[in-house]
Amino acid sequence: MYESQAPPSFRPGEEREVAPSSAALTDLAPAWIGAMHQAALAADDKKVRALIGALEADRRTLADALERWTHDFRFDRIVALTEAARQDWTPD
């Protein structure tokens, strides 16, 4: 009668999204982080995708998350990530 249902954001058999932390950006150039931040603030999907394309091949997990967020118009998540990364390297 009362069937347990998974939340709409998670379907059985799918993996849950693991969002990258600001640590994933620690060794990226501050200029790249700043450019990504500005592009996300402007919701400029072409610029965001160009910046994603500039990532090295070993950044596939980060690139995939950024691409997924861009596709889903979740620029707010990119802004939050880049903001956190910028705070990590800004002196207190």
Q: What torsion do the CA atoms of 56, 58, 60, 65 make, to the nearest 10 degrees?
A: -80
pLDDT tens for the chain, 92 residues long, are 445 544 444 445 445 567 899 999 989 999 999 999 999 999 999 999 999 999 999 999 999 999 999 999 999 999 999 999 988 775 55
Contact call for residues 69 and 7 (beta carbons, < 8 A): no
Res 91: pLDDT? 57
Q: What torsion do the CA atoms of 31, 33, 34, 40 make, to the nearest 10 degrees?
A: 140
Res 45: pLDDT? 97
**Phi–psi pair at 63, nearest 5 degrees:** -60, -40
**Distance separating alpha carbons of residues 76 and 55, to the nearest angstrom:** 20
